[in-house]
Amino acid sequence: MDTAKNPDPSVMPVMAKRCRECLFSSAKIVGDDRREEVLQQCKESGRAFQCHKASIAGEYVVCRGFYDADASLVVVLAKLFGAVKFVELP
């Protein structure tokens, strides 16, 4: 899950928009059981879910669907402290 590192730990980079295969969409690339497993792992570890397209590109960027769902304490805290930076993949 944590394949790339965030180059600036003072901000949480988040995808500007959801991708077509977002974990939070009906077109997700994993089944519902795997989705729930991934979300449970994020909750237990306190980490955010990385966008799969960003991780393939070697970038650390939080999934927009995960961010929108407030699916982790780290996301809620980043929002609270204004430490979110919306990014587009090149």
Residue 16 domain-assigned (yes or no): yes
**64 inside domain:** yes
- Shortest CA distance to 61 belongs to which of 72, 75, 69, 50? 50
Which residues of the chain fall short of a pLDDT of 70? 1-5, 7, 90
Output the CA torsion 29→30→31→34 (10° steps).
-160
For the chain, how many structural domains are there in total? 1
CB of 11 within 8 A of CB of 83? yes
Q: In this structure, is residue 25 part of a structural domain?
A: yes
Phi, psi dihedrals of residue 68, rounded to the nearest 5°: -65, -30
Structural domain including 66 reads: 12-82
> How is residue 19 annotated by DSSP?
-
With respect to residue 6, please indicate whether it lies within any of the assigned structural domains: no
pTM of the predicted structure, to 2 decimals: 0.84
Give the pair of three-digit tokens for residue 66.
């995960």
- pLDDT the model gives residue 3: 47
- On whether residue 67 sits in a domain, the answer given is yes
